Amino acid sequence: MHRFFLDANVLFSAACVSTGLLRLWGLARVGEAVLLSSGYAMEEARRNLGKTEQLCRLDELVGDMTLVPEAPADFSCPVALPEKDKQVPLIF
């Protein structure tokens, strides 16, 4: 079984009805994939969606995902990132 971590960009695109991405949810519904995301990624996608129907679609898609906990705030990233790119360290 495949496991996919869905960041805010993927969640945003799926909520805007990207047909190709919605195939991932189809795989999850038949047990061929596990969709993972974090509360941070979901909130970032939600902040950037502007239409009510997109927000409702995101809420529907969340039902087929598993939220994974984020690491503590003092987690140090081994890669230097631009200031605008927050790391999303996860605990599996």
Q: Give the pLDDT score at 58.
A: 93
Residue 90 clears pLDDT 70, i.e. is over it: no
Q: Read off the pTM.
A: 0.76
* Amino acid present at 23: R
3-state secondary structure of 65: strand
Residue 40 clears pLDDT 80, i.e. is over it: yes
Q: Give the pLDDT score at 83.
A: 66
Instruction: Map tokens 């999303």 to a residue.
Output: 88
Q: Give the pLDDT score at 14.
A: 92
Task: Judge residue 90's burial from the number of C-beta atoms within 10 Å of its C-beta, 0-12 exposed, 13-18 middle, 19 or more buried.
Answer: middle
- The H or E element spanning position 33 is strand 33-37
Instruction: Provide the greatest CA pair distance for the chain.
Output: 39
Residue 32 clears pLDDT 80, i.e. is over it: yes
Q: Give the pLDDT score at 68.
A: 87
Query: What are the residue ranges spanned by the domains of the chain?
Result: 2-67
